[in-house]
C-alpha cells in the first residue's frame, strides 16, 4: 500500500492519529520503533537541529526538502511534510507540492502566515488575505499527482483575528479542497470543541504535550476523540527530549569526566548498532563480497 494511502486510511480511523515530530532520520527511526503509525516532519525541530535557530522562517525550501527526504527514507511509515507558507506565492506552492511529493512525503502542511512565518505558539504572527490562501490551496490540490496526498491547511488566525475568523478560514480552506484543517494554537478546550463542531472537515490540532509554554491546553487523547479531532501532532516533544537528554549527559561528563557510573544516560554500543541497522550492512557485505 502506498504511504499516501496508508496516511489517508489512518486519518479515516475512529481514533485520532497521533503524529510525533521528527527532526532528522534518527528521530524518525525512534518514533517508528516506539510503535507510532505516522510522523510529522517538524519545521520547529528541523530549524533547531539543522541551524540551531528558532522556527521563524529561516529554513530554506531546499533545506526543508532535503531533511524531509532523509526522514522519509529512514522509515516505513508515512511522513507528513512541513511546507510552511509554501515558500512563496502560488507558483512557489506548485513547486513545493511537486518536490515534496517526489521526495516521498504522504502529505504536507500549508499555512496562511505572512512570510517569514513564526512557530504557531510564538507572538507576532501575521496572516495573508483569505483569497491568497485559498488560491494556494487550490493550486496545491490541482498540482498533486496522487489524489491520496494529504493537503493539511493550517490557519494561524486565532492569534491575529480571533476564533471566529479561524473557523471561517478553516471552512473556506476545506471548500478550496484541503483534506484536513489545522487550526493552530486554540487557547482553551472550549475553542477546540468549537473548531471540531463548526469546521466542516476533518480537524487537526497540535499539542506541546508535557512542555510548558504552549498556547494550547493539554487535552487527553480520549477527550480529543470524544470531541471529534482527527489528527494530533506533537511537534516539539522529541526535540525537547533530545535536548534534555544531551544536557544531562554533558553535565555529568563535565562534572565527573566520565559517565561510566551513569549507564541510564546512554544506550549501549550494541543497542546503537541494532538501532542503526549495522548488522544488515554486515550481512550485505558478506553476501556480495562472497559472490565476488
Report the SS3 class of residue 78: coil
pLDDT at 286 over 90: no
Domain shared by 67 and 159, yes or no: yes
Strands (E) located in 103-201: 107-111, 150-155, 180-183
Give the end of a domain, one of 196, 221, 238: 238
pTM of the model as a whole: 0.93
Domain shared by 220 and 257, yes or no: no
Domain shared by 151 and 271, yes or no: no
Domain that holds residue 151: 3-238
Domain shared by 225 and 278, yes or no: no
pLDDT at 88 over 60: yes
Domain shared by 93 and 131, yes or no: yes
> Is residue 40 a contact partner of residue 78, using CB atoms and an 8 Å limit?
no
Domain shared by 186 and 232, yes or no: yes
Domain shared by 99 and 212, yes or no: yes
Give the end of a domain, one of 238, 257, 280: 238
Report the SS3 class of residue 182: strand
- The mean predicted confidence, pLDDT, of the chain is 93
Domain shared by 14 and 110, yes or no: yes
Domain shared by 190 and 82, yes or no: yes
53 contacts: CB under 8 Å, gap ≥ 6: 47
Q: What is the arithmetic mean of pLDDT over 192-210?
A: 91
Number of structural domains (the chain) is 2
Amino acid at each position: 500500500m502506498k504511504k499516501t494511502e496508508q496516511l489517508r486510511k489512518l486519518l479515516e480511523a475512529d481514533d485520532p492519529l497521533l503524529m510525533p515530530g521528527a527532526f532528522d532520520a534518527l528521530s524518525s527511526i525512534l518514533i517508528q520503533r516506539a510503535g507510532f503509525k505516522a510522523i510529522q516532519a517538524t519545521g520547529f525541530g528541523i530549524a533547531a537541529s539543522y541551524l540551531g535557530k528558532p522556527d521563524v522562517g529561516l529554513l530554506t525550501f531546499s533545506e526543508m526538502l532535503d531533511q524531509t527526504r532523509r526522514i522519509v527514507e529512514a522509515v516505513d511509515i508515512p511522513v507528513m511534510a512541513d511546507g510552511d507558507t509554501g515558500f512563496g506565492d502560488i507558483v512557489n506552492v506548485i513547486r513545493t507540492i511537486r518536490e515534496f511529493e517526489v521526495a516521498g512525503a504522504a502529505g504536507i502542511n500549508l499555512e496562511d502566515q505572512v512570510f517569514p512565518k513564526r512557530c504557531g505558539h510564538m507572538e507576532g504572527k501575521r496572516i495573508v488575505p483569505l483569497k491568497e490562501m485559498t488560491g494556494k490551496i487550490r493550486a496545491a490540490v490541482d498540482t498533486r499527482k496522487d489524489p491520496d496526498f494529504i493537503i493539511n491547511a493550517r490557519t494561524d488566525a486565532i492569534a491575529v483575528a480571533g476564533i471566529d475568523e479561524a473557523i471561517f478560514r478553516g471552512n473556506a480552506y476545506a471548500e478550496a479542497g484541503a483534506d484536513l484543517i489545522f487550526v493552530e494554537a486554540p487557547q482553551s478546550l472550549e475553542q477546540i470543541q468549537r473548531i471540531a463542531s463548526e469546521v466542516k472537515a476533518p480537524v487537526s490540532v497540535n499539542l506541546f504535550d508535557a512542555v510548558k509554554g504552549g498556547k494550547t491546553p493539554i487535552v487527553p487523547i480520549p477527550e480529543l476523540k470524544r470531541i471529534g479531532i482527527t489528527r494530533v501532532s506533537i511537534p516539539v516533544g522529541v526535540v525537547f527530549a533530545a535536548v534534555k537528554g544531551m544536557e544531562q549527559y554533558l553535565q555529568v561528563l563535565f562534572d565527573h569526566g566520565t559517565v561510566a557510573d551513569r549507564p541510564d544516560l546512554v544506550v549501549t554500543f550494541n543497542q546503537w548498532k541494532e538501532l542503526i541497522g549495522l548488522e544488515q550492512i554486515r550481512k550485505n557485505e558478506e553476501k556480495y563480497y562472497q559472490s565476488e
